[in-house]
Chains A and B, each alone.
Chain A
Amino acid sequence: MSLGLRLLLNLPAALLALGLTQSSAQTPNGPAETPSSNGLLPAAPAFASTNADEWSMPGKNTALTRYSELADVDSTNVKTLQPVFTFSLGVNRGQEAAPLVVGSSLYVVTAYPNILYALDLSKPGAPLKWTYEPKPSPAAQGVACCDVVNRGAVHSEGRLFFNTLDGFTIAVDAETGSEIWRTKMGNIHVGETMTMAPLVVKDKVIVGNSGGEMGVRGWAAALDVGSGEIIWKAYSTGPDAEVLIGAGFEPLYDQYRGKDLGVSTWPAEMWRQGGGTVWGWVSYDPDLNLVYYGTANPGPWNADMRPGDNLWTAGIFARDADTGQARWFYQWSPHDVSDYDGVNESILLDIEIAGKQRKVLVHPDRNGYVYMLDRSTGELLSASPFAFITSSKGVDKQTGRLVYNEEKHPETGKTVKDICPAAPGAKDWQPASFSPQTGLLYIPHNNLCMDFKASHVGYLAGTPYVGAEVYMNAGPGGHRGEFSAWDIVSGKEVWTINERFPVWSGALATAGGLVFYGTMDGWFKALDARSGNLLWQFKTSSGVIGQPTTWRGPDGRQCVAVLSGVGGWAGAIVAGDLDPRDGSAALGFVNAMKDLPEYTTKGGTLHVFAIP
């Protein structure tokens, strides 16, 4: 019996009668085998166990596993998952946030103008409890590179924390919706915005900035949860004193040893507009007391203008949570030439390697490799390609350095074709999920290549600092996105689902043996976590680029939710009404997404599902 026929027969008649069909791209590619030759699965650290009934931070826990222990919804009953309610966010831009649930309240923050809503899950239809409108400056919309998104709020001890596009970090009382404090962190006059979801670490809120395409100098900061006062701030470029590199810095590799490398690895003064912004995911190990986050691309995109390794961009910092002092650093892409921001999630896991227990982090990078580093020391343990790569040849285990393919190195005035991955990388911000049940990493990602022509650019504060004309295209195979199951131990793909568009949503894995993700043409899907078989899907009102979450509601039922509302960098052609005739628009993404408007319109809706 063919795989396709077997899948069809598994669908209930009711679904068939409704006209829901499996798309032909849905059959997972690859053998559905269980992972790891030695039989030992990677594990989530003990501190990754949080209250299963709630979802209080986008990553579920500070290890960022995005895994729920809830198993009420499982592979046998997910086919009966139904909408419980929907809620219009009132904003039709890209919705990347994660709906949070604590107690009987759901909290969600929208794209600009960053409205924070609280819904009462204890009443039918989840009515509004309160609304908080931060009223960010409309001018901020003009300096946000990649749609006016927001990746979510975080809840801790009765407070919600989130960032606004115009650069404020805000604390709101979760019960009443009243503002507790707001601290101005960013300056839109120099093109600095904020889009990332904060992380709460003990008594501090960790935040970072956006603006690497605007010549903004990157930083991460810790604010006091009670007062909003800045406790520490670490820049991503410049002198050691400002990067908080001092006596406690113990990098393993030679290229990170020396004084003021954040200055000397740049032509004179260019570190001031050097990028390295901190707009992605932050993780935290409470046993080591280390905060981990990645830094974004160096600016400008035209790398010829900035010879040198451009520290400390496109890499990962491990910092003391209390002081911000750097413990170690590792650079995914030294002297980045392709806009491979290093800000993707670093998921903290425990693994046995060669008979020894190791504390590691696993990080699928823009440059196309899934990295495993020792999170205590920053030692490179492995780097395995999870996408088609032409821009580099591999990672040198001795030096830790990415080995570039010089043939794909952009040059000023010259067009270099077929650089893979394209600038959004093999994977952009869209976060992966780890299931301790299967031991697999579930990676939503892209299949894109680009043609790139570098040009000289003059820095004009508050305007883009890029210097490149880019046209992206689908990668080999013609599909522009994939959702893959990845064996961390062997460094190999177990199965993958090809999707028409980049899979720009987050992933969610559950103890019910399921993984969830959404597509840019609007489908929200549940797959069997072991086999990748599609078990359920629902067509929402607009492309899905949000982070799915799950919780147990006041009525005792497990609910699964996601935001629909296409946009983000990949969906800018729809969210921004861009013109498809100019493929270079949206930093070249439009070229690869000209057909998106045929599949989705703008939107902004929260969808909540449960088994009836």
Chain B
Amino acid sequence: MKASHLVVPAATLLSLLVACGDPAPNQGQAPPQAGKGPEQLTISLVEIAPGPAEPVHEKSEIGRAYADDPEQIALGRQMYVAFNCVGCHFNGGGGMGPPLMDDQWIYGGSVENIAASIIQGRPNGMPSFRAIVIGNSVWPLAAYVHSLSAKPESKSQAAAPESDMSPSRPD
């Protein structure tokens, strides 16, 4: 299998997502609005701004819809593996990269902040995935990452893959 080690899985996903410009509609619901892409949104990484107003933070309609959509979260999990996010962040516990399953968000924990971190990269090691995760294809991925911390007290997330591994066993 000559080229099997090359980015076949990621490329397949990528072509599906790019071809679909606007995300596919969920079953039984009106298609979501084609909202602003992650580069067009005005978002803030911080919660403070001088003066009386809150920092400006535009919400993504798609992002917010996907964050509650198990199908999109499942698609995001596939992207998470295909783009090797799992290699640095594992199943949310972290490693080379920080944990994603806790409630500590260095660069903001909203789905828009997560999308921006993925696209732009971040100063202490997060690479910029802009060239690989194109346009609105970031939203399922951001939705999955967002879901990892959705239930801080629970041990497993709905979208985590089934595992026949028993992670802990008595010594």
Give the interface of A toward B (CB within 8 A).
138-145, 213, 267-270, 273, 300, 305, 415, 451, 453, 455-460, 462-466, 469, 471, 473-474, 478, 572, 576-587, 590-591, 594
Contact = CB atoms under 8 A, between A and B. Distances in A.
B91 A582 contact: yes
B95 A458 contact: no
Nearest to A474: B171
Given A582-B99, A584-B167, A462 B93 contact: no
B96 A142 contact: yes
B90 A586 contact: yes
Contacts of A572: 95
B28 interface: no
A143 B125 contact: yes
A433 to B, nearest CB: 29
A465 B8 CA distance: 14
Nearest to A477: B171
A585 B96 CA distance: 9
Chain B contact residues: helix, strand, loop or mixed = loop
A141 B127 CA distance: 10
B93 A458 contact: no
Contacts of A142: 88, 96-97, 124-127
A585 B6 contact: no
Interface string B1-38: 11011111110000000000000000000000000000
A464 B155 contact: no
B93 A579 contact: yes
Contact of A584 (B4, B83, B93, B96): B93
Interface in B120-148: 121, 123-127, 132
Contacts of B87: 213, 457, 463-466
B168 interface: yes
Contact of B7 (A269, A415, A460): A460
Contact of A143 (B83, B90, B96): B96
A118 to B, nearest CB: 27
Contact of B2 (A268, A462, A478): A268
Contact of B84 (A268, A415, A457): A457
Given A142-B126, A456-B9, A594-B168, 19 more contacts: A138-B124, A138-B125, A139-B125, A144-B96, A453-B164, A456-B4, A458-B6, A460-B132, A463-B127, A464-B87, A471-B166, A471-B167, A578-B93, A580-B93, A582-B90, A582-B91, A582-B94, A586-B90, A591-B168
A577 B97 CA distance: 10
Nearest to B2: A268
A577 B96 CA distance: 11
B104 interface: yes
Which of B98, B123, B127, B165 has the largest count of A CB atoms less than 10 A from its CB?
B165
A270 B6 CA distance: 10
Interface of B: 1-2, 4-10, 81-84, 87-88, 90-99, 101-102, 104, 121, 123-127, 132, 155, 163-169, 171
16 contacts: A142-B125, A142-B127, A213-B87, A300-B5, A456-B4, A457-B84, A458-B8, A460-B132, A469-B163, A473-B168, A474-B171, A572-B95, A579-B92, A579-B102, A583-B167, A583-B168
A472 B134 CA distance: 36
Nearest to A270: B5
Which of B96, B97, B102, B155 has the largest count of A CB atoms less than 10 A from its CB?
B96
A478 B82 CA distance: 36
Nearest to A576: B94
B171 A578 contact: no
Contacts of B125: 138-144
A459 B165 contact: no
A584 B90 contact: yes
Contacts of B95: 145, 572, 576, 578, 585-587
A273 B7 CA distance: 13
Contacts of A144: 96, 125
B165 A579 contact: no
Contacts of A268: 2
Contacts of A139: 121, 123-125, 127
A587 B101 CA distance: 16
A227 to B, nearest CB: 32
A140 to B, nearest CB: 7
Contacts of A457: 5, 84, 87
B126 A473 contact: no
Contacts of A273: 5
When A and B form their complex, which 4 residue pairs have the shortest distance between CB atoms, in order from nearest?
A: A142-B125, A464-B87, A582-B93, A585-B93
Contacts of B81: 455
Contact of B82 (A270, A451, A458, A584): A458
Contacts of B94: 576-579, 582, 585-586
A577 B41 CA distance: 31
B119 to A, nearest CB: 15
Contacts of B8: 458
Given A415-B164, A415-B165, A453-B165, A464 B9 contact: no
Contacts of B7: 458-460
B44 to A, nearest CB: 22
A577 B93 contact: no
A591 B2 contact: no
Given A138-B125, A471-B168, A464 B5 contact: no
Nearest to A480: B171
Contacts of B155: 581
B123 A138 contact: yes
Nearest to A302: B5
Contacts of B121: 139
A17 B127 CA distance: 54
A305 B171 contact: no
Contacts of B123: 138-139
Contacts of A469: 91, 163, 165
A573 to B, nearest CB: 8
A413 B1 CA distance: 17
Contact of A464 (B6, B88, B91, B165): B88
Contacts of A471: 165-168
Contact of B99 (A305, A453, A585, A594): A585
Contacts of A213: 87
Contact of A473 (B92, B164, B169): B169
B50 to A, nearest CB: 27
B109 to A, nearest CB: 14
A142 B95 CA distance: 9
Contacts of B5: 267, 270, 273, 300, 305, 457-459
Contacts of B169: 473
Contacts of A582: 90-94, 99, 101
Nearest to B155: A581
A551 to B, nearest CB: 36
Given A584-B93, A585-B94, A451 B84 contact: no
A585 B90 contact: yes
A410 B48 CA distance: 50
Contact of A478 (B91, B168, B171): B171
Contacts of A466: 87
